[in-house]
């Protein structure tokens, strides 16, 4: 090795280790340990609201993309729910979302089901599970870490390429603190909870969050 290439290699190594330490620290230890347990370690990011953390990996097939996801967030109390979903529509919004919701009941039992989020849900109608959400979901699991009130859900989804663009996937997340049996009750309508959506590129984790959308939400909240 010539003496002139050595510093270049060393500085490259220093850069790489800096890069990896930043990449690793973007999710909490609690989240990372759960993600490792289920082998979803390829990508993770802290989401923009609710302190939620999201990890995923994907396999592209000819007609579909198989996505494995894990979502984690802290609950305010011992009871609560965590939702994550995708919206095949044009915009990243709650209405039209096919969701996976994990609930930790007051008696500490846990359940995870699929739900259709509709305009009726938004109006406050009862939200109950739907076996068919027009999407293949498997391996759904919910776990709770009582020492830090941290709830985690993970699952595998098969997204048909014609309906979902994996480089422009509308996803939605939500955290609530009250449920009645299988019915998650409306989350607090704080702005944070209303705005928990983005369009993500699964290949990079980058999100397209445009200011226009944000303004629209602000207006809707005031109505």
Ligand X SMILES: *[C@@H]1O[C@H](CO)[C@@H](O)[C@H](O)[C@H]1NC(C)=O
Take residue 187 and report the two structure tokens written for it.
């989350």
Beta carbons of 22 and 3 less than 8 angstroms apart:
no
* C-alpha pair distances (Å), 210 with each of 101, 131, 165, 207: 27, 33, 18, 9
Whichever of 39 and 138 has its CB closer to ligand X, that residue is: 39
Q: Is 39 in the site for ligand X (CB under 6 A)?
A: yes
Q: How many angstroms separate the CA atoms of 120 and 140, rounded?
A: 25
Binding segment (CB under 6 A) for ligand X, from list 22-30, 84-92, 102-110, 207-215: 102-110
| Number of residues this chain uses to bind ligand X (CB under 6 A) | 17
Q: Is 208 in the site for ligand X (CB under 6 A)?
A: no
Whichever of 50 and 112 has its CB closer to ligand X, that residue is: 112
- Taking CB under 6 A as the rule, which mask of x and - marks residues 55-74 in contact with ligand X? --x----xx-----------
Q: How many angstroms separate the CA atoms of 32 and 170, rounded?
A: 24
Taking the complex as a whole, the smallest distance from the CB of residue 152 to ligand X amounts, in Å, to 17
Up-side HSE of residue 66: CA atoms within 13 Å toward CB?
Answer: 7
Q: Is 116 in the site for ligand X (CB under 6 A)?
A: yes
Helix, strand, coil tally for the chain in percent (to 5) = 25, 40, 40
Taking the complex as a whole, the smallest distance from the CB of residue 6 to ligand X amounts, in Å, to 35
User: Which residues on adjacent β-strands are paired with residue 71?
Assistant: 54, 153
Whichever of 2 and 107 has its CB closer to ligand X, that residue is: 107
Take residue 169 and report the two structure tokens written for it.
């996937």
- Taking CB under 6 A as the rule, which mask of x and - marks residues 157-196 in contact with ligand X? --------x-xx------------x---------------
Of the candidates 4, 107, 189, 223, which one interacts with ligand X according to CB under 6 A?
Answer: 107
Taking the complex as a whole, the smallest distance from the CB of residue 126 to ligand X amounts, in Å, to 11
Of the candidates 48, 66, 93, 130, which one interacts with ligand X according to CB under 6 A?
Answer: 130
Q: How many angstroms separate the CA atoms of 72 and 151, rounded?
A: 6
Taking the complex as a whole, the smallest distance from the CB of residue 100 to ligand X amounts, in Å, to 13
Which residue do the tokens 């996803």 mark?
171
The secondary structure of residue 120, as a DSSP letter, is H
Take residue 166 and report the two structure tokens written for it.
């994996």
Q: Which residues bind ligand X (CB under 6 A)?
A: 39, 42, 57, 62-63, 105, 107, 109, 116, 130, 132-134, 165, 167-168, 181
């Amino acid at each position: 090795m010539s003496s002139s290439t050595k510093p270049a290699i060393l500085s490259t190594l220093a850069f790489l280790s800096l890069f990896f330490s930043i990449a690793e620290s973007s999710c909490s230890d609690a989240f990372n340990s759960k993600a490792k347990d289920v082998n979803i370690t390829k990508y993770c990011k802290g989401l923009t609201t609710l302190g939620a953390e999201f990890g995923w990996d994907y396999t592209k097939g000819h007609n579909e993309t198989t996505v494995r996801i894990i979502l984690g967030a802290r609950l305010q109390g011992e009871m609560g729910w965590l939702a994550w979903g995708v919206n095949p529509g044009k915009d990243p919004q709650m209405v039209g979302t096919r969701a996976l919701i994990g609930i930790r009941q007051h008696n500490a039992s846990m359940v995870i089901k699929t739900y259709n989020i509709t305009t009726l849900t938004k109006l406050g109608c009862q939200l109950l599970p739907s076996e068919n959400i027009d999407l293949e979901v498997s391996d759904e699991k919910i776990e709770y870490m009582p020492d830090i009130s941290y709830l985690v859900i993970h699952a595998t989804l098969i997204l048909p390429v014609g309906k979902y663009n994996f480089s422009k996937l509308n996803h939605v997340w939500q955290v609530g603190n009250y449920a009645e049996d299988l019915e998650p009750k409306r989350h607090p309508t704080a702005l944070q909870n209303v705005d928990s959506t983005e369009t993500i590129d699964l290949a990079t984790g980058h999100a397209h969050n445009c200011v226009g959308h944000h303004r629209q939400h602000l207006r809707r909240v005031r109505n």
